[in-house]
Amino acid sequence: MILISIAVVLTLIGSLVYVRYDSRKQVGINYYRQWSKYYVKKQNKKTAYINSQPTARNPVSISEGHGYGMLICALGGENGIVANEEFEKLNNYYLKHRIASTALMSWKQTIYKNKVQAEANNATDGDLYIAYSLIKASNVWPQERAKYLKEATAILNDILKYNYNPQLKMLTVGNWANEGSKFYNMMRTSDVVPQQFDAFYKLTGNKKWLEIKRSMLGYLSKLSMQSKTGLIPDFAWVTKSQVKSVAPNTVASKYDGDYYYNACRIPYNLAQANDKLSKEILNKMMNFFMKRNKVYAGYYLDGKVIDRHKSETFGAPLLDAAINHPRKYDKLFQQEKFLVMKPLVKTNYYEAALITLVAVQVDKILN
């Protein structure tokens, strides 16, 4: 149970009192149902995927979105609003779309009239969330515990086999960024998930996960200290002596070296952790946003705005951090609470997933 002040709880209840979706007035179930309706697509009675491009002619599933979907279901299961059957449908889809001879999920699948064309590479962030969701699900549905933990262990073993740089003790961005690739030393900063790393160590007993946590948090801290804002870029180059932002268009966009659509997840990742370094990195970043009256769609590391339109994708992780740290970030809570006071967006799976993750956490507070 998240510790939260009575004042913040009363404010939250008052803010969300309009919700009338069911007799329990649960925010989480309201958003889960919207999210499921818009983004979860059933292939058959036993299999479903997350459609990351709901407006496209052919549906597209990506492992990142699938991992978020499985985590939403597992967290919803903790609150009693999601049945094991719904989680199993997503899990079955993951199992059917692993890369040959591995437990890692194909990072992208395009569905043509229910026939799937899958990519042969993985993306580390997707597999991290799938493994973590399986661990969470094992506690929610104990009848499946052994199965889910076996699957999670297999994923974690293959991440260390295919997505790990042992010299730098960090995760690479995917199996394609191998030792022979120029991207072997590149870190996706949103792959730093300290709470998950702890869970992975607890499951496997492999101390590499604690080493990965220490080293990757250390790299994140160095990036944080390089600016007054504490903002962190989407991607960074790492060596044993330094860490620095990548140049524009290194891998995904001209904003690869800025606080953009990958790094915006960092407040959510750090807010779940209890270690000192995670809190320090988060606090510096949150202090930057505490001085702003709006959250825009991307920032240069010096704090200048990239795209001057208010962004719920960037706001949702900040709201989550504010909920996890009551009183300290109450101003941001008051500013961004509207995110769970309006209908869920129908055409942006990423924004919808981040908001739904916040909403299912709100349920824990209200209950």
pLDDT tens figures, 9-55: 444 544 444 433 343 347 889 999 999 999 999 999 999 999 999 99
Q: Give the pLDDT of residue 325.
A: 87
pTM > 0.85: yes
H or E element, residue 361: helix 349-366
Is the CB of residue 245 less than 8 Å from the CB of residue 257? yes
What backbone phi and psi angles, to 5 degrees, belong to 52? Answer: -80, -10
**Model confidence pLDDT, tens digit, residues 135-185:** 999 999 999 999 999 999 999 999 999 999 999 999 999 999 999 999 999
188-208 residue pLDDT tens: 999 999 999 999 999 999 999
Integer Cα distance of 67 and 104 in angstroms:
12
Show Cβ contacts of residue 327 under 8 Å, excluding neighbours closer than 6 positions: 5, 8
| Short-list 203, 117, 116, CA closest to 159 | 203
pLDDT for 364 equals 57
H helices of 141-265, where? Answer: 145-162, 194-204, 208-225
**pLDDT of 5 above 70:** no
Q: Which residues are catalytic?
A: 125
Averaged confidence pLDDT in the chain? 92
Could you say which DSSP state residue 53 is in? -
pLDDT of 140-150, one tens digit each? 999 999 999 99
Q: Long-range contacts: 202-205, Cβ < 8 Å, 24+?
A: 203/135, 203/149, 203/152, 203/153, 203/156, 204/153, 204/156, 204/157
- pLDDT tens-place string over residues 113-129: 878 999 999 999 999 99
For residue 227, report the phi and psi dihedrals to the nearest 5 degrees: -140, 155
